[in-house]
Amino acid sequence: MRIVMIGSGYVGLVSGACFADFGHEVVCVDKDEGKIAKLREGGIPIFEPGLDALVAKNVAAGRLSFTTDLAGPVGEADVVFIGVGTPTRRGDGHADLSYVYGAAREIASALKKFTVIVTKSTVPVGTGDEVERIVRETNPAADFAVASNPEFLREGAAIEDFKRPDRIVVGIEDERARGPMEQVYRPLYLNKSPVLFTRRRTSELIKYAANAFLALKITFINEIADLCEKVGADVQEVSRGIGLDNRIGSKFLHAGPGYGGSCFPKDTLALVKTAQDHDSPLRLIETTVAVNDQRKRAMARKVTAAMGGDVRGRTIGVLGLTFKPNTDDMREAPAISIVQALTDAGAKVRAYDPEGMEAAKPLLGDIDYAESAYQAAEGADALVLVTEWDAFRALDLKRLRDRMANPLLVDLRNVYSPAEARAAGLDYVGIGRPDAEH
C-alpha cells in the first residue's frame, strides 16, 4: 500500500515508521522544513525509545521518506492519514481543528484517484463529516472516502503499542474504505489484534471516552490517596486490593501528582466542551478536569508543609520534569505547576531530568539544572521525586543524604518505601501513606 502521513510529529512519525516496518511504502509530509531536514539527515525531533533505529532501518530499506511536498505523494496514495496536532483552542477549551481542516483542503486539491482519507489525529465527534464536506467543496470531482482511525499510543511505549495493540478502531461511512483499511492493518492479523469497524462518529467518540475513563481512574486513586493520609491507610495496598478485581483492573491506579501530557488534559477538556455543546454535560469528567488541575499545585503545598510551612530562600532539588518517563514531552507536566508554585513561594529550585530539560527551560523560568540526581541533591533542603524515571528507581539513598543540607525526601510517585528511606537517614513523605510511616 502507498501511504501518506500528513504531520511528522509524535503520532505521524511513530505511525509512519511502523507502517513502513510492516512493508508499506510511506511518505511523511510536514510543513516544517527544519523538521523534515532533520529527519532526512537521520535526526529524530522527539524522544521515543527505539524510534531512531526504526526510522533509520526503513529509510535505508526505501520504504520511508520525508518531504514538505504534499501534492505529489497524495496524488499517488491509496490511503492518506491526517496526523496533525489538535491542541486546545485558546479561549474556549475546544480542540483546535484548523490544522486538520487545512490538511483536508490541501489533500482535496491533490487527489487524482480513489483515496481513503483517514483522521488519525484525536478529533471531536463530527470532524470526519466536516473533513468530507471540505474535500467535496474544494474538489467536487474527487473520488474518496473519509474514515476515522484514532491512535492509542502511550508515549514511551508507542512502537510496542502500535505493533501489538489492544484493538484497532476504524470508523467508516463508505464501505469502499473497508478494504484499504483492512490491507493497511493486515500485518497485525497474525497477532490476532481485534479490528473494530464502527460508524465514523462512534470511532471518534471511542478515543475521547477511553482517555476520559483513564483520566478518571487516575483522579479517583489520587483522591483516595488523600483520604488514606487522613485515616492512616496505605494507598498502594488499596490500589492492589481493588485492582485485583478484574472488573476494575490494576492499570492507572497509581497515586501521584496528577496526569499531564499531550492527550489526557486536552482530550478530557475537549470532551467536556463537546458534551456541553450538545446539552449532555459529563459531570464526572468536568470534576476530573477540575480536581486534576487543583492537584498539581496542591503537590507544591505538600512539599511546603513537609518543610515546615516556609520554603523562602531554601533550595529544593527536583527529580523528573516530563509528564511521564521515557519521553521528553513537557506538555501539561505536573512539574510545571509544582516548580512554579515553589519558586513563587521564594524557593530556589535545582532540577534534573534524563531527557526533558531542554524542553523544560522555556516553561520553568529562572531555575537551575543539574547533570545528575546527585548534583540536584547537593546542598538541598528537600529532594522531590516528581517523575518515576528508571534512573531514579535505584538511587543510592545514603549518597543522596550525605549531599543534602536537610535529609527530606518527598516522593510523589511512591518509588521508595518509608523503611528504606529511613534506613538511609532520610525523612520521608510519600503519597497516600499513613503519617506513622512518614
Domains for the chain: give ranges and CATH numbers.
2-198 (3.40.50.720), 213-437 (3.40.50.720)
Residue 405: half-sphere exposure toward Cβ, Cα within 13 Å = 11
Residues recorded for the chain: 438
Share of the chain above pLDDT 70, in %: 99
Choose among 405, 414, 403: nearest CA to 438: 414
- What's the maximum distance between 2 C-alpha atoms anywhere in the chain? 74
Provide the grid cell at 80: 492518506
Using one digit for the tens of pLDDT, what is the confidence trace for 91-138? 788 999 999 999 999 999 999 999 999 999 999 999 999 999 999 999
Strand partners, 168: 195
Q: Phi, psi (5° rounding) for residue 298?
A: -65, -30
Q: Is 28 an active-site residue? A: no
Residues 6+ apart with CB under 8 A from 279: none
236 with 416: CB under 8 angstroms? no
* 3-class state of residue 81 by DSSP: strand
Where the chain has pLDDT below 50, the residues are 436-438
What is the pTM assigned to this prediction?
0.93
Q: Which of the 8 DSSP states describes residue 87?
A: P
Strand partners, 88: 95
Residue in 18, 28, 228, 263 annotated catalytic: 263
DSSP class per residue in 243-303? HTSTTT-STT----S---SSSHHHHHHHHHHHHHHTT---HHHHHHHHHHHHHHHHHHHHH
Q: Give the pLDDT of residue 147.
A: 98
